[in-house]
Structure 1
Amino acid sequence: MGQHVRAGELEIWTEQVGSGPDVLLIGGLGDTVESWQFQLDGLADRYRLTAFDNRGAGRTAMPGGPVSVAAMADDAAGVLRALGVPAAHVAGFSGGSIIAQELALRHPELVRSLVLQSTWSVPDPYLRSWGRFVRWLVGAAPGEREFLEWFFLFIYTPRAHNDGTVSRFVDEVLAFPYPQPAENVQRHLDAFLRHETTDRLPRIAVPTYVLAGGLDVTARPELCRAVADLIPGARFQVLEEESHQPFQEAPEQWNALVDAFWRELDAPDAPNPG
């Protein structure tokens, strides 16, 4: 069962399952706890996993004033402190990976390691134009179903569209009782598109694993590789047949990869990072 926890000015919706080393999962644009369901189900036998709804998504309200990645990173830190988690392995995807980077920079004592899926340090012109297109689309689409069907063309592989996976995801989103207002999607996009960590990433001193989808046309492998090159000692891997969200399309493969990474770090003879 989930609960709201107080983090600064916000009551943030969180869910925590499992037992073992702590893991914090940070979702991307408009994504809620449910976006991590394959991980909450598949890894809870080995980890204590915490997921939460970002500000302005799901069951967490959007406060007034500007939205920034720094504020969302502080929200994530507040969740860990409110739940009494001293430090965690942190995994984030897309916009959530940007929040995870900022969390490691602003609150390094809370982060044991990073898994960054479909990430970037600064949007290049292509990604910036795509973000502006999505910003327009969320307001211009004739309905939520149409928006999701068109938006998901960029997020999931043709395989997932053709085998019915995307259709199921659309139905699940439409049935969710806490839809995200278009304005909140746009405010999140604005925050992600203006944020940059390029000059600060070399300060990250925890083990980092950067994953890219070979078929991802948004956070493309070259953007992910640039992040890995900037973080000392970071690992980089391309999942050639996957797109933006392989943790949903190929959860068993994705879970196995990050589980192996975390197990290595949690081994008794693992070196002390940093």
Structure 2
Amino acid sequence: MATTISASGTSVHYIATGSGNPLVLVHGAGGNSEANWGHLRARFDDRRQVITPNYAGSGETTDPGGDIDLNLAVEQVAASILAADAGPVELVGFSLGSLVAASLAAKHPELVKKLVLIAGWVTHADPRQELVVGLWRKLADADLDIYRKFLTLYLFSPRHLGAQDRQALAQSLEGIEVTANIIRQIELVGRATVEAFLPSIQTPTLVVGLTQDQLVPVENARAMHRAIRGSIYREIDSGHLVVWERPEELVAEILNFLDKTPHS
């Protein structure tokens, strides 16, 4: 069921399916809840109520305009949890969504009973990552064809791309678009840090790193794991867009953690 609610002067759109323990899946930058999680929803909603919200810059969710703030995204996701009468929830965040999820768990611990953070980062201390995100942002203004090729090369592992059918790959490239909202989310990626929040997280947490991630190198996830006391760490041999490259392995890691780890 698709629902739109009001929160902090904005409209927040989310979809809720299934029944059982509530599970919230938070998308990454440049995408939306359907692009990141829509094809995986059925893997979870046979045993859980699955909630997939869009935060500022994605889907039908609105915001005041201007720069997107990490705190706004946190409050929008929190509002979807409260509107669905679903707290406390199992909360999963991917890429920028992992920073949203981690910040939410620190700020609203009463809403989160288990936490999964995939392909996240703590801070932009790595000059290589700054260069990559800066180039991503500049190409969004420069040339759509180059932008599409750059993003595809950085989102997937060489192994995955090398195994693709050329015609299918060309069609997938044509599906990559640049909008003003995507640019605003890329800019948030360049600013967002969670260094101040991670030490206060007490929720049982799984951190997932991706060993072939060229957009957010795996050491960033390892640093996130070290910063969260008592967290569990797993790695998947995948590029950044693990939700498409290695979905079965990712779902297995998530469910193994959620089903076997006692909540606090």
Taking structure 1 as the reference length, the TM-score comes to 0.87
**What corresponds to 2:13 in structure 1?**
13
User: In 2 relative to 1, CA 55–104 (structure 1 residues): closer, same or farther, beyond 3 Å?
Assistant: same
Partner AA of 2:220 in structure 1: L
What one-letter code is carried by the residue in structure 2 that aligns with 1:261?
A: F
Contact 2:93 2:116 survives alignment (8 Å): yes
Q: Secondary structure at the match of 2:23?
A: strand
Per-residue deviation, residues 122-144 of structure 1 (Å, max 9, x unmatched):
02211111111111011111x3x
8 Å CA contact 2:136–2:147 kept in 1: the answer is no
Tell me by how many angstroms 1:219 deviates. Answer: 1.5
| 9-18 vs 114-123, greater mean Cα deviation | 9-18
Cα displacement string for residues 16-53 of structure 1 (whole angstroms, at most 9, x for unaligned residues):
11112111111111211212023202111121111122
Q: Answer yes or no: is the 8 Å Cα contact 2:139–2:146 preserved in 1.
A: no
SS in 1 for 2:113: strand
**Aligned equivalent of 1:262, options 255, 258, 261:** 258
Task: Answer with 127-136 or 245-254: which moved more.
Answer: 245-254
SS in 2 for 1:154: helix
* Residue 258 to residue 208, structure 1, CA distance change in 2 (3 Å): same
CA distance in 2, matches of 1:149, 1:196: 27
Are the counterparts in 1 of residues 93 and 101 from structure 2 also a CA contact under 8 Å? yes
Name the counterpart of 2:156: 156
Aligned to 1:25: 25
Q: Give the whole-Å Cα distance in 1 for the aligned partners of 2:9 and 2:139.
A: 31
- The answer to whether the 8 Å contact 1:93/1:245 transfers is no
Q: Deviations over 1:154-201 (max 9, x none)?
A: 011223323247556445x45xxxx662x3223222223222222331
CA offset digits 1:93-144 (Å, max 9, x no partner): 1111111111111111111111111111102211111111111011111x3x
Aligned runs of 1:238-253 on 2, under 5 Å? 238-240=235-237, 242-253=238-249
Count of residue correspondences: 259
| Helix, strand or coil at the partner of 1:210 | strand
Q: Counterpart of 1:107?
A: 108
User: Aligned partners of 2:178, 2:259: CA distance in 1, in Å?
Assistant: 36
CA distance in 1, matches of 2:79, 2:182: 22
Q: Does 1:216 align with 2:213?
A: yes
CA distance, structure 2, for counterparts of residue 16 and residue 82 of structure 1: 11
1:229 paired with 2:226, answer yes
Letter in 1 for 2:28: G
1:8 Cα deviation after fit: 2.4
Q: How does 1:1-274 map to 2 (within 5 A)?
A: 1-34=1-34, 35-123=36-124, 124-141=126-143, 143=144, 146-161=146-161, 162-164=163-165, 166-167=169-170, 169-170=172-173, 173=175, 181=179, 183-240=180-237, 242-265=238-261, 270=262, 272-273=263-264
The letter of the residue matching 2:189 is F
For the aligned residues, what is the CA RMSD? 1.9
How much has 1:6 moved relative to structure 2? 2.1
The alpha-carbon distance between structure 1 residues 166 and 228, as it changes in their structure 2 partners (threshold 3 A), is: farther
Whole-angstrom CA distance in 2 between matches of 1:127 and 1:102? 21
- Structure 2: distance between partners of 1:61 and 1:152: 27
| Cα distance in structure 2, aligned partners of 1:126 and 1:44 | 38
Contact 2:140–2:178 (CA under 8 A) maintained in structure 1:
no
Q: 1:57–1:180: 8 Å Cα contact kept in structure 2? A: no
Any conservation in 1 of the 2:206–2:231 contact (CA below 8 Å)?
A: yes
Q: Name the SS of the counterpart of 1:261 in structure 2.
A: helix
Q: Structure 2 stretches of 5 or more lacking a match?
A: none
C-alpha distance in 2 between matches for 1:169 and 1:102: 33
Q: 1:87 to 1:187 in 2, by over 3 A?
A: same
User: Cα distance, 1:257 vs. partner?
Assistant: 1.1
| Identity across matched positions, percent | 25
Residues 69/150 of structure 1: CA separation in 2 closer, same or farther (3 Å cut) = same
Structure 1 segments unaligned to the other structure (5+ residues): none
Listed one character per residue, the Cα deviations across residues 211-259 of structure 1 (whole Å, up to 9, x for unaligned) are 111111222121111110110111111113x111212211111111111
